[in-house]
Structure 1
């Protein structure tokens, strides 16, 4: 489910620290997110890609958040890479990656609309990351991918193995990484109005994101995000947990 990542494909990595973040990353193309164009972002160790400002906070909160804090959260939780794992990121115009993204994003587009033809992508990957206060070797692997053709913008959330939901500062069990306030997944536009909580966020069910989908591909979720009318994408895969977001795109 995950796209290629790591030093072999030119990724950079954040420092191994608790609540760390990347430097500000200037984008090669504007990325439009809920009607606002962004030219830079940060990759935050705690499972967030944020526009304009860092997000070091380790306690996941339900969207919408107050204040101007636009970000994508594949798995917002208390990551501690000092205890294990890496957070990788890169911009890419690799034709093979873009062709694969075009194919994988096609189901997101309503019938009759032009098919996605991304010309740029940003890939952030949390590879086997540990949780704060871990007294176990449980780790999580997940990825956020931003893709754009310069106008139309998409986000894909890809989930590998998810073994924990909560660090100990959020009342998680140090031996299991479960309980307390589990991880949050979704989008926050920063305007206090438009947002999306992936079903299961901040509940134990968030750990099952690697088995669920809105595309029929277990572990993959995809959304168009450039305008206010952004859809949730196709319905969640039949036979999985019901789709009960706290609110759709308002």
Structure 2
């Protein structure tokens, strides 16, 4: 009987192991075991201002500190607590990068981790990835900053749906890159953005992209603020589903081969 039970359970266990391997291949290591810090359990909360060991160049300007905002945004100069995303460009707003700007509520569930790192193994992996995607740009990472939203819930949720995604900032002091990793996206909208409490869909969906603060320099990842953002785990600009990579010091748009799939059918009547 014990052998039979083991054999019955084994397919699921093997599937879970394989899924964890896939997760580790997309997301860089994070969590308390990596000496990450955590944002407070606070709706629309943020980190404290975080001073950087080296300047990170974003749209041609050196940034020496940043904020990790619970609602899926890393901003420079000031916090960004806004929960319903605005279309970009957001003129007069702070410069920011948004892996998934939506109404996160980590009181309902999930954690936001972050750390600054010069750890050799991590930098070697980032360097290898950047060199693969941009072979014509000499680059050896000397610094990185990682922020990871781990199974975070949405405001007003009545379910256990959670999103897991990550933003990585890296530089060699001359060239700067940002990597967005999307592992699991189950919702797009909080209830205060007219989303459905049971599905986390509808209303004003989340936004992914970059904003310099002026009217000329910005970038919207395809699918932003549409139903299709739910499928960002399947899209890419470097042919790795769930990963988007950009040179952001002197920002360059990198268009890739992966098209945005059509959103799944929905019975939700809350779409704008």
Note if contact 1:88-1:125 (Cα within 8 Å) is conserved in structure 2.
Answer: yes
**Corresponding residue of 2:27:** 2
Q: What CA deviation, in whole Å up to 9, does each residue of 1:62-96 have, x standing for no partner? A: 11102041000000000000000000000000111
Q: 1:231 is matched with which residue: 252, 260, 265?
A: 252
Instruction: Write the mapping of 1:124-203 to structure 2, written as runs, cut at 5 A.
Output: 124-203=147-226
Instruction: Name which of structure 1's ranges 204-213 and 83-92 shifts more when overlaid on structure 2.
Output: 204-213
**Residue 212 (1) aligns with residue 235 (2):** yes
Do 2:239 and 2:256's aligned partners in 1 also have CA atoms closer than 8 Å? no
CA distance in 1, matches of 2:246, 2:169: 10
| Residue of structure 2 equivalent to 1:241 | 260
Counterpart among 88, 113, 117 of residue 63 in structure 1: 88
Which residue of structure 2 lines up, in the alignment, with residue 121 of structure 1?
144
Give the length in aligned residue pairs.
236
More relative contact order, 1 or 2 (CA 8 Å, 6+ apart): 1
Unaligned runs of 5+ in 2: 1-25, 262-272
Q: Secondary structure at the match of 1:103?
A: helix
Tell me the SS of whatever aligns to 1:222. Answer: strand
CA contact (8 A) 1:108 1:223 kept: no
Q: Which has the higher helix share?
A: 2
Task: Choose from 122, 132, 140 the match for 1:97.
Answer: 122
Deviation of 1:219 (Å): 0.5
Mapped to 2, the partners of 1:192 and 1:125 lie a distance apart of 29
Structure 1 stretches of 5 or more lacking a match?
A: 243-250
Q: How far apart, CA to CA, are the structure 2 residues paired with 1:28 and 1:191?
A: 27
Question: Whole-Å Cα distance in 1 between the matches of residues 61 and 71 of structure 2?
Answer: 24
Determine the C-alpha separation between the residues in 1 that align with 2:69 and 2:121: 27
What does residue 245 of structure 1 align with?
Answer: none
Q: TM-score, normalised by structure 2?
A: 0.84
Mapped to 2, the partners of 1:132 and 1:159 lie a distance apart of 20
The superposition leaves residues 97-142 of structure 1 with CA deviations (integer Å, 9 ceiling, x where unpaired) of 111111111244363x32x211000000000000000011111000
Q: Which residue of 2 aligns with 1:221?
A: 244
> In structure 2, how many angstroms separate the alpha carbons of the residues matched to 1:107 and 1:182?
32
Answer yes or no: is the 8 Å Cα contact 1:107–1:234 preserved in 2: no
Which structure has the bigger radius of gyration?
2
Across the aligned residues of Structure 1 and Structure 2, the Cα RMSD in angstroms comes to: 1.2
Distance (Å, rounded) in 2 between the aligned partners of 1:128 and 1:72: 20
The corresponding residue for 1:34 is 59
